[in-house]
Amino acid sequence: MIDNALNEVKGNLEETLPKYIIEQYNLQDINTAIQNIHFPNEFKDFDKARYRLVFEELLSMQLALLQLKNRYINDEKGIAFSKDAKMSDIINKLPFKLTKAQLRVLEEIDTNMESDKSMNRLLQGDVGSGKTVVAMCAAYKAVKSGYQVAIMAPTAILATQHVENFKKTLDDLEIKCELLISSMTKKKKEELLQRLENGEIDILIGTHALLQENVTFKNLGLVVTDEQHRFGVKQRTTIVEKGQNPDVLVMTATPIPRTLALILYGDLDISIIDELPPNRKKIETFAVSKKIEDRVNSFVRKQLEQGRQAYIVCPLVEENEELDLKSVEVLYEKYKKEVFPEYKVEFIHGKMKQKDKDEIMQNFKNGNVNILISTTVIEVGVDVPNSSIMVIEDAERFGLAQLHQLRGRVGRGEYESYCILKYEGKGEVVRKRMKVMCETNDGFVISEKDLELRGAGDFFGTMQHGLPEFKIANLFEDMPILKSVQSVALKIISDDEKLQKDKNKILKQLIEDKFTNRIEI
């Protein structure tokens, strides 16, 4: 069938790359490449054909991303923060020592903030590596230079936790931190917004509520967004526009292999915190089949008897919210009535009212709940130092990066901590993935493996980035091509930002055909 189809169009396929690129990079033309990818005379022909098609696919993605980013970047001067506002003043006040990695990253941020070029920095750090403290030091510098700071967190629980942590350190330094979340009363909100506009609030921490039109800063100088993948470029832009070219720090605990991060976040400089604070315990991880459920339960009971707390995590069931809730509620009934009737069991899921979720999380944090059954809403998270064990049901349904995020909820105190992955399925990939989780606690190693075992579409969650699935390129195997393509794309865009020159018309068309209405980063 393919042979017949190719005979029909032999030599008549329209070229999709400009002539100068084909010649400059020694690529096959489209007709030869399509012929040779299906019916090569020798392996060499196949390799050259594949190279051409992968090159094209990755080039179009890179150009689309660069164009998208250029739309959101401006060249106006940024804020040069004061050299007299020293981060060391706050670092010396902290009750713990910062790691070398944190200090290195702070130096990068400090240099950025003191220059008049707007900072656009992505801060990557594994779960629990201490990103929040880095944000606090940057915020201190901004406030001491006479500016306000906005910190946007993805959930009210997390925003509240940030405020508590910030206040502990900053109250003594006479820096005013406040919280803005949608569940506040109208009167309280109005009073807060008035104080913000008057400049009486130095640091405002909140959820999406910060994006609303009526939130007006007197002098916004630094914007920190936590958990980048939950806020798109547009939302970042909305909050940035509330100031005059403020500096931007984007934090994420989702470790993306560095090379990919450079490519996907081409508009951001990248800092990586690649070590954990010395007090963080390694989380012992075990992958077990569902058959030994009783042994798992008795292990959990042992932890509870020692006064610890436990998380039980359920997977999403094929994006079906009704079933998700059911799976949480069924498990809740089982644990409460049959397995652990003597303990206080609670459950939490995304469909609950924010107020109820916050209340349950607070109770768990205060130690009034022994076992918390949850969907992945706990993934971005709250510190509960006393919780030392997590059981993840149907672990094979999660991506490795997500399992790693979830696992990071335990091991935040002084106690030995455990994560038990219950899985079904005998497939090789499932076994390999479980093995990776048991062997390493390094988020970057895990993300590389995830990419290798699941492919890029799954890894990014295609919906999340709106990146189309690749037909032929494989981001893991084709990294060398991706790197060379990136420099080609940068060259093309710096010469012809909107691809309006005659020689680039074909490229403009290629990108429009592929990406129009799809890409929303």
Amino acid residing at 250: V
Both 368 and 431 in one domain: the answer is: yes
Instruction: List the CATH number of the domain containing 117.
Output: 3.40.50.300
Using a pLDDT cut of 70, give the percent of the chain over it.
Answer: 86
For residues 235-246, average pLDDT? 82
Q: Are residues 341 and 386 in the same domain?
A: yes
What is the arithmetic mean of pLDDT over 328-346? 90
Q: Specify whether 249 is located in the same domain as 313.
A: no
Residue 78 forms part of a structural domain: no
pLDDT at 338: 92
pLDDT of residue 519: 42
Are residues 237 and 94 part of one domain? yes
Domain that holds residue 137: 87-273
Reported for 1-5, long-range contacts at CB under 8 A and 24+ positions apart, including other chains, are 2/38, 3/38, 3/39
pLDDT of 322 above 90: no
Is residue 470 in a domain? no
Among residues 335, 296, 334, 336, the alpha carbon closest in space to that of 418 is found at: 296
The span from the CA of 204 to the CA of 178, in Å, is 5
- Has residue 3 got a pLDDT over 80? yes
Number of domains in the chain: 3
Domain end (from 273, 295, 324): 273
Percent of the chain with pLDDT over 90: 43
How does pLDDT run across 450-459, given as a tens digit for each residue?
A: 777 765 544 4
Tens digit of each residue's pLDDT (9 = 90 or more) over 494-517: 898 888 899 999 999 888 887 665
Q: Which of 107-121, 168-182, 419-433, 446-460 has the lowest mean pLDDT?
A: 446-460
Inform me whether the pLDDT recorded for 76 exceeds 50: yes
* Closest to 225 (Cα-Cα) out of 123, 318, 301: 123
What is the pLDDT confidence band of residue 464, given thresholds at 50, 70 and 90?
Answer: very low
pLDDT confidence of residue 278: 75
Question: Once rounded to an integer, what is the mean pLDDT over residues 280-308?
Answer: 90
Segment 353-371, tens digit of pLDDT: 877 887 888 898 889 999 9
Each residue of 305-314: pLDDT tens digit?
Answer: 999 999 999 8
Based on the fold, state whether residues 315 and 401 are members of the same structural domain.
yes
421 and 336 within one domain: yes
Q: Are both 93 and 238 inside the same structural domain?
A: yes
- My answer on whether 423 and 346 are in the same domain is yes
Query: Domain for residue 411, yes or no?
Result: yes
Confidence of residue 262 (pLDDT cuts 50, 70, 90): low
* 170 and 60 part of one domain: no
287 shares a domain with 268: no
C-alpha to C-alpha distance for 219 and 216, rounded to whole angstroms: 9
